């Protein structure tokens, strides 16, 4: 077990941040458990980065750390978004600065319709995507606007979760296993939408067990193993590297 280092290290370097979203020597703990182990990587504006690795590698923990959720606690390193440090920010402040986390459980609010779920996510006055624009992006949601959100199918719930993130004025979309449990035809639909979102200039980190699908969409990939980075490069490099695929992705 490593001891927790000084959390002030690396502050005030935001002006030198090398990319749109820069993670620098980030370390996170759940209580005494050292989980995210000194990781550094960059995400360029408008790209899709696949964050891959086996079960328990630390993918969800990395997304939660970037979104500044309370757990795990980031104890060291820096996170810069568009030259602004997220180090001392709360999850609420990180969200206001443009981080949109779509958690694995999708977190649809019970008792509210599709439209009410979207309205609740919007900041007044709306500065993110308008609800009509979201329905253009996800026609299935438009057709079901009066339906209670939690009665949607799994794929529709995933669409609503992504739409809710877009309803705020986000710069970065953090997706935790959006394809989980979905039929290939629905995955196709969501993938198409993620390409449109990318074309609008939004930067995405895509965590997926379905590495083949994720790599087909992503520009670059970072592979985690036991909380550390074992690969950072282009998606094409991963697809060409049989050893890497077999060892860390089982594909």
Ligand X SMILES: Nc1ncnc2c1ncn2[C@@H]1O[C@H](COP(=O)(O)OP(=O)(O)OP(=O)(O)O)[C@@H](O)[C@H]1O
* Contact residues: ligand X, CB under 6 A: 30, 33, 35, 53, 55-61, 71
Can you tell me which of 42, 60, 158, 204 binds Mg ion, judged by CB under 5 A? 60
Of residues 61 and 122, the one with the C-beta less far from Mg ion:
61
62 binds Mg ion (CB under 5 A): no
Under 8 Å between Cβ of 5 and 75: yes
Stretch that binds Mg ion, among 11-19, 58-66, 114-122, 185-193 (CB under 5 A): 58-66
Q: Where are the alpha helices (DSSP H) in 176-210?
A: 184-199
Residue 55 CB, nearest distance to Mg ion (Å)? 8
Residue 236 CB, nearest distance to ligand X (Å)? 23
Rounded to the nearest 10 degrees, how much is the dihedral formed by the CA atoms of 123, 22, 104, 223?
160
**Contacted by 57, from Mg ion, ligand X, none: CB < 5 to 8 Å by type:** ligand X
Residue 169 CB, nearest distance to ligand X (Å)? 27
- d(CA 227, CA 245) in angstroms, rounded, equals 18
Of residues 79 and 121, the one with the C-beta less far from ligand X:
79
**Contacted by 30, from Mg ion, ligand X, none: CB < 5 to 8 Å by type:** ligand X
Of residues 166 and 173, the one with the C-beta less far from ligand X:
173
Q: In 3D, which of 172, 238, 165, 227 has the Cα closest to residue 19?
A: 172
Residue 240 CB, nearest distance to Mg ion (Å)? 26
Of residues 59 and 76, the one with the C-beta less far from Mg ion:
59
Residue 116 CB, nearest distance to Mg ion (Å)? 28
Beta strands across the sheet bearing 228-234: 99-102, 172-176, 203-207, 48-52, 220-225, 228-234
Backbone CA torsion sign across 65, 71, 90, 111: positive
Half-sphere exposure of 126 (CA within 13 A, CB side): 16
Half-sphere exposure of 46 (CA within 13 A, CB side): 4
Residue 129 CB, nearest distance to Mg ion (Å)? 27
Of residues 103 and 142, the one with the C-beta less far from ligand X:
103
Stretch that binds Mg ion, among 60-68, 149-157, 208-216, 227-235 (CB under 5 A): 60-68
A 10 A CB-CB count for 198 gives 18
Of residues 31 and 201, the one with the C-beta less far from ligand X:
31
CA distances from 88 to 27, 64, 169 (A): 14, 15, 21
117 binds Mg ion (CB under 5 A): no
The partner residues of 52 in beta bridges, in order of sequence, read: 223
Contact residues for Mg ion (CB under 5 A)? Answer: 59-60
């Amino acid at each position: 077990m490593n001891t927790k280092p000084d959390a002030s290290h690396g502050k005030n370097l935001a002006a030198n941040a090398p990319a749109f979203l820069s993670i620098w020597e980030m370390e996170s703990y759940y209580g005494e458990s050292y989980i995210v182990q000194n990781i550094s990587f960059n995400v360029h504006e408008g790209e899709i980065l696949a964050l891959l690795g086996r079960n328990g590698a630390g993918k969800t923990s990395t997304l939660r750390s970037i979104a500044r959720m309370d757990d795990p606690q980031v104890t060291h390193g820096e996170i810069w978004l568009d030259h602004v440090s997220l180090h001392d920010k709360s999850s609420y402040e990180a969200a206001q600065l443009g981080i949109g986390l779509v958690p694995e459980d999708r977190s649809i609010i019970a008792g509210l319709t599709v439209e009410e779920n979207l309205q609740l996510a919007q900041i007044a006055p709306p500065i993110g995507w308008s609800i009509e624009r979201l329905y253009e992006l996800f026609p299935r949601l438009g057709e079901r606007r009066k339906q209670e959100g939690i009665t949607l199918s799994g794929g529709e719930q995933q669409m609503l979760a992504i739409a809710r993130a877009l309803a705020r004025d986000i710069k970065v979309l953090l997706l935790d296993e959006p394809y989980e449990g979905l039929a290939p035809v629905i995955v196709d639909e969501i993938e198409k939408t993620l390409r449109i979102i990318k074309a609008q200039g939004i930067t995405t980190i895509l965590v997926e067990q379905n590495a083949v699908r994720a790599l087909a969409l992503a520009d670059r990939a970072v592979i985690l193993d036991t909380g550390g980075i074992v690969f950072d490069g282009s998606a094409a490099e991963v697809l060409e590297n049989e050893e890497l695929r077999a060892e860390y992705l089982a594909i």
